[in-house]
Structure 1
């Protein structure tokens, strides 16, 4: 097993769980922004701790990501802030909280296989033999041992790929080459997170609209905050003035998370020059309460993003000057 094989698995998972080539590109641009931030953090703020975020998945068809939802996070065994994270989100994910763990140093020779059925036949993935799941008991404040089969039984999901998007080989190879520059450690974390989200809890399960938290980052004072990371270029509109946007639903969700979890939320932008070459310029950051206060009150129509062509995507734009530069 090497980085290229991990990225091949990742491609298979994503291509079976997006609705268009554009959605595939948006997903990968998002991966790049998150992975690059980890590199920046390790280089420029090595003393600051960070923790993997997690995902709310409604078990019923709904646009409310917290309705009848479970929450899961994937983390190596030694990662901090896990129990506190699951305790906090238990206020919103009333159907349960799950922690998937693994040994990041397990040799690839001991990995095991996991098959997921599809319309064209069974697709086989490799996962660490150490990959396991625990359910958090928020009443007893302790973890209960479980396994993938029990997890699927409890959430009522049955892994199955119903369809796939035809991704040109050139586009696939472009992103494999781009992401292969990151460490095996980070690519493994990304792959296993997507294995749970796209593989075990994929689109074929009739789930509701999911909501993910990108990162939790520890402040110098010891407290933690929520970080939403996006890779964006400045908007081209004159009214509202050029800046960075966020869709209305995401703004509402982040503000609700900030309130319910009692953690400040920040919007971090990997500022790039344009949509085509996507060359890095700098990092820009803003507190979500400030974003909400300063952003345009009247939404504009944003890009298609992960949605279907012609879908409604109301977006509020906050002027570029409101974002602080991250040094």
Structure 2
């Protein structure tokens, strides 16, 4: 079962990346996000909640340029049922986003389905999706449908064409094998909705952003939004400022500077799962820092490269996006 789930995830990622490095980086990015709820959040008595996708509608390339944004959370129906009041509270606080939806999924391995053959010829398990629209006036979710989301587009999506064909080395089994079947099923369903149903084949959109994880702290009755990465420490000889620490793409920092300004009722933090190196990727420790502190203390790295190289859409994703690095000492070990 695990290999089949991984194969399906790999196919979705392959169809939306343009080279092996981008493919591997996308899969590596799933690890820390999948492990954080158990290793960090629940272990400390807090409640993990799904983050959401911030999808600018085609009139603007990035969400920072418009409030015409679709905010969408994709989650298991049991989690939604158990935490519906918390998701209502979160959605109500995200008042800057004009259109807010939520999607739950049911995965059925007893039935198969085909995707559009222009996208993929692989057989997938049947994935049933239920959509909900958030009504701000009533502060509640009302069942909706895919057409309601698709109608938000102001233009027809471009004709689908895979960005670039490459001979894939399916290292995904090695990268994703450490995750449980449940975590992998969550990733599969989320990527099916985001990369396929709301991907560039069917849905015209700008450059998306996301919240990796939202955590509710019962003791303080507050919500914290996390950016989560798996990283090894930067090397002094790899950056002109001789800073040893953890970095982030400048574009992502700009995103969070906007979030902090727009949503003062949330706290924002950067959570790093430290690994020993990029080859063995052995776990060392979790580290955290307030996002405002990271932004204030980080140093621009003119030699930095984006971890998102090769991601779609290539027309708005430069080959080299500069990064900033914050010293290791500024982070708190968890």
Please give the alpha-carbon distance, in whole angstroms, between the structure 1 residues aligned to 2:330 and 2:270: 12
What is aligned with 1:227? 226
What is aligned with 1:303? 305
What is aligned with 1:249? 251
Q: Where do 1:37-48 residues align within 5 Å?
A: 37-41=36-40, 44-45=43-44, 47-48=45-46
> Aligned to 1:54, which of 49, 52, 63?
52
The answer on 1:188 being equivalent to 2:185 is yes
What is aligned with 2:293? 290
How far does the alpha carbon of each residue in 1:24-73 deviate from its partner, in whole angstroms, 9 at most, with x for none? 1111111012122234137733x321011011111216442243221111
What is aligned with 2:77? 77
**Taking structure 1 as reference, are residues 189 and 13 closer, same or farther at Cα in structure 2, changes over 3 Å only?**
same
The answer on 1:178 being equivalent to 2:175 is yes
Please give the alpha-carbon distance, in whole angstroms, between the structure 1 residues aligned to 2:57 and 2:318: 27
Asked whether the 8 Å contact 1:10–1:191 carries over to 2, the reply is yes
Q: What is the deviation of 1:215?
A: 0.1
Asked whether the 8 Å contact 2:56–2:205 carries over to 1, the reply is yes
**Taking structure 1 as reference, are residues 295 and 88 closer, same or farther at Cα in structure 2, changes over 3 Å only?**
same
**Taking structure 1 as reference, are residues 116 and 138 closer, same or farther at Cα in structure 2, changes over 3 Å only?**
farther
Please give the alpha-carbon distance, in whole angstroms, between the structure 2 residues aligned to 1:142 and 1:9: 34
Q: Where do 1:1-327 residues align within 5 Å?
A: 2-41=1-40, 44-45=43-44, 47-60=45-58, 62-66=60-64, 67=66, 68-79=68-79, 80=83, 81-89=86-94, 91-94=95-98, 96-103=99-106, 108-109=109-110, 111=111, 113=113, 115-118=115-118, 124-129=123-128, 131-155=129-153, 161-163=160-162, 165-166=164-165, 168=167, 171-172=169-170, 174-204=171-201, 205-219=203-217, 220-237=219-236, 239-261=241-263, 262-296=265-299, 298-308=300-310, 311-326=319-334
Asked whether the 8 Å contact 2:286–2:333 carries over to 1, the reply is yes
Asked whether the 8 Å contact 1:235–1:242 carries over to 2, the reply is yes
**Taking structure 1 as reference, are residues 310 and 196 closer, same or farther at Cα in structure 2, changes over 3 Å only?**
closer
Helix, strand or coil at the partner of 2:269: strand
Q: Which blocks of at least 5 consecutive residues in structure 1 are unaligned?
A: none
Q: What is the deviation of 1:139?
A: 2.8
Helix, strand or coil at the partner of 1:289: helix
Please give the alpha-carbon distance, in whole angstroms, between the structure 2 residues aligned to 1:160 and 1:128: 24
Q: Which blocks of at least 5 consecutive residues in structure 2 are unaligned?
A: 311-316
Q: What TM-score comes out, normalization by structure 2 length?
A: 0.84
Asked whether the 8 Å contact 1:133–1:145 carries over to 2, the reply is yes
**Taking structure 1 as reference, are residues 160 and 3 closer, same or farther at Cα in structure 2, changes over 3 Å only?**
farther
Q: What is the deviation of 1:183?
A: 2.0
How far does the alpha carbon of each residue in 1:212-267 deviate from its partner, in whole angstroms, 9 at most, with x for none? 11000122423110111001111113514111111122112113223322211111
How far does the alpha carbon of each residue in 1:76-120 deviate from its partner, in whole angstroms, 9 at most, with x for none? 22322322222223x2322x11110135xx6633x563523416x
Helix, strand or coil at the partner of 2:22: helix
Please give the alpha-carbon distance, in whole angstroms, between the structure 2 residues aligned to 1:188 and 1:83: 25
Q: What TM-score comes out, normalization by structure 1 length?
A: 0.85
Q: How many residues align?
A: 314
Asked whether the 8 Å contact 2:54–2:71 carries over to 1, the reply is yes
